[in-house]
Amino acid sequence: MSGNGSNGGRTTRDIVAKLWKLCDNLQGGGVSYKDYVNELTYLLFLKMLEETNREDLIPAPYRWRKLYEKAGEEQLLHYRRTLLELGDTTGKRGVAPIVVAIYTDAKTALNKPVDLAGLVKAIEEIDWFSAKEDGLGDLYEGLLEKTTSEKKSKAGQYFTPRPLIDCIVRLVKPQPGEVIQDPAAGTGGFLIASDTYIKAHTDNLYQLEAARAAFQRERAYVGSEFVRDTYRLCLMNLLLHGIDSMIQPDDSLEAAGEALGKAELVLTNPPFNRFPTTTNRADFSITAAARKGPMPFVEHVVRALQPGGRAAIVVPDPVLYDDDTGRRLRSWMMELCDVHTILRLPTGIFYAQGVKTNVLFLTRGRSDRGNTQAVWVYDLRANMPAFGKTRPLTTDVFKEFESAFGDDPYGKAARVDTGEQGRFRCFTREEIKARDDSLELAWLRGAVEDPEDELTEPEDIAAAILGHLKNALEEIEGLTEAIEPRGAETIEATA
């Protein structure tokens, strides 16, 4: 998050800190961090519509000023009625569809009029002039990012670190006119970063003709987010960043995922854990009977790409080395796509999910055979410190990788293999075949055997232990599935 105003975002940070501190006062009333973020979403949305002159999206009786002018029990009752009316899905209330989507099934966790009055007063007293200079989207996103540091809320599972998102977007270079998709959108980080990048290179879209600018605002971004509360936060986040695209509240591993259509660019960080249910996609073959999780999302990404389209997907380590379905998926992917770059991410970025992670950069081929000729791997994990509460991830961590990756978003810039002592190496397709198509390509060994040994914060240590336990359970479940009887399986080489 970075402010655009002359204060460099200081006002935004101050407002976020002030609003977040109010949560401490509500803890005794049973309001969790997650509930508090939802509550702020409902209230801030009303106020921000007033500040941005977009109150035409909602009927006059349910606008911010009406709520602010009431007091006591009457204010709380009016607030509850407002949530109900704005979330009315019958379409009879004159509420814009995106507003209905945000407020569908919305309920307040506030039971005391004094608690609501405190939040309304705090929001009203915000320095909105300075906040608008920084950007209202940045203000809201600051609140979302704040939740990532609160382990109690478990909200971190929905967030990809902003420095990583920005690094990926700078490398893949989203372009005006492209359909950009995220099938596991979370709070919209990849879509918003792509939009920010495009606006920065088009003078906030003013360099585009009217029809192209409208496309960017209304149709360029597509995606799904299955978790209802996260979906609500995503829509709010998109709207406050000037994006009117409606992502869907669907599971991309069901039929609705195919309905997302094709895209020139897919950016996503899907859930890392595997779920008890299996995929239900008529167009799937490799992971058709697999449990929902990262591997089916990889198949979705490959199938969602237009020929020549590019993607970056965050995946846990097992996707790179698992046998059976994992091996077939990688072989199929390397036939259809040019898997040109893998970034091995540092330890500690995704402790909430309990796995070590990577970013796959790939381009969908224009033919269905032999698209991967070589894979470049950048090891940003070996001999690196663990990241956590005491050592936050920053943009500087990725500078050398971005330089090595080069300026070509398709991974075709001139590159240098730094050898066994360096971080960037090239592996030919033949070398990968000799490894039974495993993409677990690690070579560095150094003084820092386990960065987790350097962790000092109890929360970081506990999260690391939890991560190892989750990994162990995944491996046991995978072994169990591997020894169960199953019919003959075939590899589909075309999509």
pLDDT in tens, 252-267: 999 999 999 999 999 9
Is residue 182 very low, low, confident or very high in pLDDT (cuts 50, 70, 90)?
very high
pLDDT for the residue 85: 94
**Percent helix, percent strand, percent coil in the chain, to nearest 5:** 45, 10, 40
pLDDT winner (highest mean) among 1-15, 50-64, 161-175, 443-457: 161-175
pLDDT for position 232? 86
Contact 52, 136 (CB under 8 A): yes
Find the radius of gyration of the CA atoms of the chain.
23
Q: Which domains does the chain have, with CATH numbers?
A: 10-131 (1.20.1260.30), 151-483 (3.40.50.150)
Task: Report how far residue 209's alpha carbon sits from residue 44's, in angstroms, rounded to the nearest whole number.
Answer: 32
Amino acid 10: pLDDT: 66
pLDDT score of 312 more than 80: yes
d(CA 436, CA 444): 21
What pLDDT, in 10s, does the model give residues 375-387? Answer: 999 999 998 887 7
- pLDDT, tens digit, 9 for 90 and up, residues 340-349: 999 999 887 8
Tokens 């999260």, residue located: 463
pLDDT at 494 over 60: no
Q: Give the mean pLDDT of the chain.
A: 84
Instruction: Give the CA angle between residues 422, 427, 430 to the nearest 5°.
Output: 155
Lowest mean pLDDT, pick from 103-117, 272-286, 308-322, 382-396: 382-396
Q: Which residue has the higher pLDDT, 159 or 38?
A: 38
| Rounded mean pLDDT, 294-317 | 97
Q: Cα(424)–Cα(378) distance, rounded to whole angstroms?
A: 4
* Under 8 Å between Cβ of 231 and 225: yes
Q: Residue 110 above 80 pLDDT? A: yes
Give the model's pLDDT for residue 125: 87
Quick check: 154 pLDDT over 60? Answer: no
pLDDT (0 to 100) of residue 450:
53
Kindly indicate the confidence band of residue 250, based on its pLDDT and cuts at 50, 70 and 90: very high
Q: Which residues contact 216 (CB under 8 A, 6 or more apart)?
A: 176, 195, 198, 205, 208
Q: 0.85 cut: is pTM over it?
A: no
Q: Look up residue 197 and give its two tokens.
A: 């990048």
From CA 81, how far away is CA 102, in angstroms rounded? 15
Q: Which residue, 284, 298, 245, is CA-closest to 495?
A: 284
pLDDT at 315 over 70: yes
- Is 5's pLDDT higher than 50? no
pLDDT at position 70 over 50 = yes
